[in-house]
Structure 1
Amino acid sequence: MKNKARILLILAITLAVLTAVGVYSYLSLIPNYLSTGANEETVTVEISEGDSLRTVANTLHEEGVIRNRYWFRRQAGEEGVDRNIRPGTYEIPPEEPFTEIFEILQVGEQRESVAVTFPEGFTLYEMGARVEDSGLATREEFIEATEDYYENQALSFDADPLFFSLEGYLYPDTYHFDEDQSAMEIVEIMANRMNQVFTTEDYELMDERDLSLHEILTKASLIERETAFDEESDLIAGVIENRLNQEMRLQIDASVIYAVGEGEEHITRVLYEHLEVENPYNTYRYHGLPPGPIAAPRESSIRAALEPAEHDYLFYVVGTEGHVFAETYDEHLENVAAYREMQDAEEEVMEEAP
């Protein structure tokens, strides 16, 4: 019995020692492992203006630079890095410790870059003009790159191939491009940025509502061009849903503007003759959504398209502050009359001004 007790004691001591060694190894080695870059080659990453620490962590994780997003955010928070990350294009050497990655993202190993801002609601044509103004590529090269990107990626969207383009698929933001970056690389960066806006939960929500990414971006682009106020985006989205559900034509002026200018020019005022334009993007003439997006939507417009407000409004018109909504056509006509009176009053004031 004594021998048996001695053996059990030895086994218990051995197990305790092994457990202690294991815990020590975990506590000392795992943090070092997680705090070291995972990339085996130098990786180029793009950090945009206004990117949150969470977005930066997601970008680095998607590019294979870090193993664990939570650990990166925790370390960055402890170091105070979250408030000092600068936008730009960065080259991250292989297997760099987080301290070095933090240093890169704050101060330096930033390549010479050209800042280009693409406002919300821009079309591909306007984006191409902005790229050309920056000296990075011509507008024609940019548009051609968007067409090649679609073909090379073999993207599959629920859209008519006769009308489909990357319109609405490039996220509007301020980017810092390398001086020698090609038009195709610019398009890839902007498309990837749009992809980062959508979360796993967003795709699950689309599946639940039986909606495609193409439909969401198309609705978001209409919302984007109809209002500049984030607080009423979901109201506009709700009107779109209500009219679609009742099989009413959307009759959205922004779609007419796009149809008339074919995405390249903007008319300053929609006339009655424009409402009859034979173009599937003209929602005054054709039922349902247009074939695709009409502009690049911001995130708030995308969120509104994903989760429109529930109400009974079917109409809206511009008011003094944002839009005025109505449930019936008679109410809408009253709102339109009030808007025209306001316009006439403003014109009189302008005419009387010295």
Structure 2
Amino acid sequence: MKKRLSQIGAGLVVAAAAVIAWIWWGPGPAEKATRVTIPDGVALQRATDYLHYAGVVDNRTVFYYLARLLGEGDPVQAGEFEIPKGASYSSVLDIIQHGRPVVRLITIPEGTPSIIVQEKLAAIPELTGPAPLPPEGSVLPSSYDWQRGESRAAVLGRMTAAMTKELDALWAKRKGDCPVTTKQEVLTLASIVEKETGKPAERRMVAGVYCNRLKMGMKLDADPTVIYPITKGKPLGRRILRSELNAITGYNTYREPGLPRGPIANPGKESIAAVLDPAPTKALYFVADGTGGHVFADTLDQHNANVRKWYDIRRARGRCSGV
């Protein structure tokens, strides 16, 4: 009799173990791939509630105790996680303990003004908190990952930290003789270079022209600096007015010599590098060449001839040649 009871007991243990194994490693209840967000600071028991509400765990009590019994005991991560269809309890626990959160990206193109950075952050509904307006020139253009529920200030903090790190690295390698003596001046001139040319191969040449002008005390005569105080860096959408060319704003390099009072956009690392290592050139002028690039000149006579060619191109395209 005792032997029989022992066999029954052993059978029950085996059966129970099989049931537990099936519950833990067998197919889970998720009917489709599901994203679950685990807030920061949440422990396993509270995380189980989020998994249950999302439909990837059907019995939170069983999941919790099996996780304590069979899991590795590692802490739960914060973030948004992709749970595959039919994921087992074991897989679900592994994902929230060791898996990589869902990566979402916000891209800041080179030359983006800070007001657009602020608007981009504000337009992401999954982020939290207010969208700060970063100081102009403080954000490194790049793509940045963010997670659901993260604060906008935290995402912006990574953008500005990236600029600080990149600027420090480039500053340490600076060469050439451009008369920019501080990192802020570098950012200011780099932002003008960024706005003046869309061709990467021209950046060092444009930087060389502006460095030459600064050495000689010539005005920079950069259209983007006239536009900045009007639109905060957004496209003007029309021709610059004569009154705007004459306005004293702290940014208008047609009226005021030297650099404007600060950056007019967030320059990329290539434009920063161009200012810290400009092309060796005697050029003092440049004008559009009709192909998206520019033609450079050492003298005013050469420049005026290039300008006339540009006006001919504009007229041939049906555009007015005035300012």
Paired position in structure 2 for 1:168: 137
Within 5 Å, which residues of 2 pair with 1:49-128?
109-128=99-118
**Structure 1: distance between partners of 2:106 and 2:145:** 6
**Structure 2: distance between partners of 1:342 and 1:111:** 53
Q: Deviations over 1:289-345 (max 9, x none)?
A: 011111111111011010011111111011123101111112111111111110111
Tell me whether 1:257 sits opposite 2:227 in the alignment. yes
CA 1:210–1:277: 2 relative to 1, 3 Å: closer
Paired position in structure 1 for 2:131: 142
Q: Give 3-state SS (helix, strand or coil) of 2:106's partner.
A: strand
Tell me whether 1:243 sits opposite 2:213 in the alignment. yes
**Structure 2: distance between partners of 1:336 and 1:137:** 48
**1:128 CA displacement:** 1.3
Of 283, 289, 301, which residue of structure 2 is paired with 1:313? 283
**Structure 2: distance between partners of 1:265 and 1:312:** 31
**Structure 2: distance between partners of 1:206 and 1:218:** 17
Paired position in structure 2 for 1:336: 307
Greater fraction helix:
1
Q: Deviations over 1:102-130 (max 9, x none)?
A: xx9xxx83223432111111111111111
Paired position in structure 2 for 1:234: 204
Q: Deviations over 1:210-255 (max 9, x none)?
A: 7211011111101000001111101100111111111011010011
Q: Give 3-state SS (helix, strand or coil) of 2:287's partner.
A: strand
**Structure 2: distance between partners of 1:211 and 1:288:** 13
| Aligned residues with identical type, % of pairs | 31
**1:200 CA displacement:** 4.5
Q: Based on CA coordinates, which of the two structures has the bigger radius of gyration?
A: 2
Paired position in structure 2 for 1:203: 172
Which residues of structure 2 form unaligned runs of 5+?
Answer: 1-39, 41-78, 81-94
Contact 1:280 / 1:286 at 8 angstroms: preserved in 2?
yes
Q: Give 3-state SS (helix, strand or coil) of 1:198's partner.
A: helix
CA 1:210–1:269: 2 relative to 1, 3 Å: closer
Deviates more, 1:172-181 or 1:129-138: 129-138
**1:198 CA displacement:** 3.4
**Structure 2: distance between partners of 1:228 and 1:200:** 24
Of 203, 221, 224, which residue of structure 1 is paired with 2:191? 221
Q: Which amino acid aligns with 2:232?
A: E
CA 1:213–1:176: 2 relative to 1, 3 Å: same
Q: Deviations over 1:85-115 (max 9, x none)?
A: xxxx99xxxxxxxxxxxxx9xxx83223432
Contact 1:257 / 1:267 at 8 angstroms: preserved in 2?
no
**1:199 CA displacement:** 5.2
Q: Give 3-state SS (helix, strand or coil) of 1:142's partner.
A: coil
TM-score between both structures, scaled by the size of structure 1: 0.58
Q: Give 3-state SS (helix, strand or coil) of 2:259's partner.
A: coil
How well do the aligned residues superpose, as a CA RMSD in angstroms? 2.9
**Structure 1: distance between partners of 2:149 and 2:163:** 23
Q: Give 3-state SS (helix, strand or coil) of 1:224's partner.
A: helix
Tell me whether 1:284 sits opposite 2:273 in the alignment. no
TM-score between both structures, scaled by the size of structure 2: 0.63
Paired position in structure 1 for 2:147: 178
**1:286 CA displacement:** 0.8
Paired position in structure 2 for 1:50: none
Q: Which amino acid aligns with 1:117?
A: T
How many residue pairs match? The answer is 225
**Structure 2: distance between partners of 1:248 and 1:211:** 18
